[in-house]
Amino acid sequence: MKRLKALLKYLMAALFVVAGAAHFIKPGVYLEIMPPYVPYPLAMILISGTAEVLLGLLLVFRKTQRLAAWGLVALLVAVFPANLHMALHPELFPDIPTWSLYARLPLQAVFILWAYWYSRP
């Protein structure tokens, strides 16, 4: 179980580093899905991308793992309203299948629990 947890930690770290980097590579994609009530959308995209990269990297190291895990939990909770907005307004995202907009909501809970797993000593 220890090996699996370690392997999954590296997988999670890599996913967040790649996802965070995508905020800088393709910010337009994120601008299109940003809810209209979020102020300074480009700044928020760059801030969240930076957070994803940093927290993903910090998750790898034992000394910063707990801090990174709690940071990822907070980040995932913070972006949940954007996912909910997408699910409630599928007409704004005609290129994305509606089922996948709803599937992201429970998937977000899985990611939160996955990150929480690394907050434990």
pLDDT, one tens digit per residue, over 48-91 is 999 999 999 999 999 999 999 999 999 999 999 999 999 999 99
58/64 Cα distance (integer angstroms): 5
Cα-flanking dihedrals φ and ψ of residue 36, to 5°?
Answer: -65, -20
Contact 30, 24 (CB under 8 A): no
Contact 16, 55 (CB under 8 A): yes
Q: Which pLDDT score, from 0 to 100, does residue 27 have? A: 96
Contact 101, 66 (CB under 8 A): no
Q: What percent of the chain has pLDDT over 70?
A: 100
The domains of the chain are located at: 2-117
